[in-house]
Amino acid sequence: MGGVGEPRGGRGPGEGPVRPGAPLPTFRWEQIRRHDLPGDKWLVIERRVYDISRWAQRHPGGSRLIGHHGAEDATDAFRAFHQDLGFVRKFLQPLLIGELALEEPGQDGGQNAQLVEDFRALRQAAEDMKLFEASPAFFAVLLGHILAMEVLAWLLICLLGPGWVPSTLAALVLAISQAQSWCLQHDLGHASVFRKSRWNHVAQQFVMGQLKGFSAHWWNFRHFQHHAKPNIFHKDPDVTVAPIFLLGESSVEYGKRKRRYLPYNHQHLYFFLIGPPLLTLVNFEVENLVYMLVCVQWADLLWAASFYARFFLSYVPFYGVPGALLFFVAVRVLESHWFVWITQMNHIPKEIGHEKHRDWASSQLAATRNVEPSFFIDWFSGHLNFQIEHHLFPTMPRHNYRRVAPLVQALCAKHGLSYEVKPFLTALVDIVRSLKKSGDIWLDAYLHQ
């Protein structure tokens, strides 16, 4: 084996993959850290160093997702996102350029090696308990009750007429159906339903496209980044919301720089006007359409068109075009309220800021918390009340979160990590409290620094 960063035969870093059977060059973390630039990305998986600079654009999850782990140990992220590791490793082999020097730790910086080891043991225990195996009956019932609600909403209007009462009931039923469709496509996007990734993807396109009118590729593009780097500015799209809202560390930064695009000390109030009502109806609709057109996702566009065709063919005969549009807006607004409150009650009150380069378990725990479980909350939230378990194990079927939760709690207790669980209503109120706190911090920094 050659010296550190100096392989035999004069081959230097970046000159292509290692030939099969050739000795692997060795690198130190200080060398790897230099390769976290656009067009120059290395990462470490299972102590092996890979140059992903050119291949990142072909990464199925998108170049941003894999690029967020540049110059880091991505071992646990690699295992978290992929079902068939043996298959994926075939794509890694041509990218291999070396390995960590023997004296180098497996993780860069001041990460807790014992925590990393214990978390990997926990994951192995979960695999041994078969907690990554899905129940076909569970997901069949989920799809069945979504389709039943779609039919029920139409029957309410068909049998009772388009009056205010049946229209209100139908809108509520459709909003719940849309919310549950979000949850099911989310499961499929994480490949937690079928053994074959392809089957998950096809089913997700049907649910996301035909049942919701959105692009599966768009959702995966933004959502996987959220999972890779939760609550990290410019890496997690869910918290990169400035200058509309200020969260976490951005409050101080905007205050110190005297930036005042909006009255941020009142953001907890205007949140009710532009947050829950408009996220799905406006932001998601526009962002989704732009993504499909710019990224030339014609299949997703056809799936989405099939949703709108079905919806308006179903309801225009009762309401006419203007009435059907108004009915559609009502459903989207109701659905949007569900989406914002349910998805953000686990994240907004937690730490939000810039990259800290933590290990996988620590980074996920710092950005997530749970909500007290019950049969209703589990169903209503799509088991997103188990946000900690979901973020630690994204491909685990959600019906197994309750079983793995005690193991996660034991890991947190051993290492002094916070395993936070809140009552449902408290979790919702905490979103508003967090926005007010961030606004107050901004105002203080704006006035006094």
pLDDT of residue 27: 95
Residues 238 and 163: their CA atoms lie apart, in Å, by 38
Provide DSSP, 183-223: HHHHHHHTT-S-SSHHHHHHHHHIIIIITTS--HHHHHHHH
User: At residue 311, what is the residue type?
Assistant: F
Provide DSSP, 288-323: HHHHHHHTT-HHHHHHHHHHHHHHHHHHHHHHHHHH
pTM, whole model, 2 decimals?
Answer: 0.92
Residues 368 and 418: their CA atoms lie apart, in Å, by 10
pLDDT of residue 76: 95
Torsion (CA) 340, 227, 363, 40 in degrees, nearest 10 = -130
pLDDT of residue 78: 94
Could you tell me the CA-to-CA distances from 385 to 120, 290, 378, 400 in Å, in that order?
23, 31, 7, 13
pLDDT of residue 7: 40
Maximum Cα interatomic distance, the chain, rounded to a whole number of Å: 81
pLDDT tens for each residue of the chain, 449 residues long: 344 544 433 334 445 677 666 788 999 999 999 999 999 999 999 999 999 999 988 888 888 999 999 999 999 999 999 988 888 888 899 999 999 999 988 887 778 899 999 999 999 999 999 999 999 999 999 999 999 999 999 999 999 999 999 999 999 999 999 999 999 999 999 999 999 999 999 999 999 999 999 999 999 999 999 999 999 999 999 999 999 999 999 999 999 999 999 999 999 999 999 999 999 999 999 999 999 999 999 999 999 999 999 999 999 999 999 999 999 999 999 999 999 999 999 999 999 999 999 999 999 999 999 999 999 999 999 999 999 999 999 999 999 999 999 999 999 999 999 999 999 999 999 999 999 999 999 999 999 87
pLDDT of residue 111: 83
Q: What would the two tokens of residue 393 be?
A: 């194990």
Q: What would the two tokens of residue 223 be?
A: 């959502």
pLDDT of residue 12: 45
pLDDT of residue 83: 85
pLDDT of residue 40: 94
Please, how many CA atoms are within 13 Å of residue 252, restricted to the half-sphere of its CB?
5
- Cβ proximity of 246 and 341 under 8 Å: no
Could you tell me the CA-to-CA distances from 121 to 76, 111, 205 in Å, in that order?
12, 17, 34
pLDDT of residue 21: 66
Q: Which residues have a Cβ under 8 Å from the Cβ of 50 and sit 6 or more positions away?
A: 42, 43, 44, 92, 95, 96, 97
Scan for tokens 């654009």, then name that residue: 57
User: At residue 118, what is the residue type?
Assistant: D
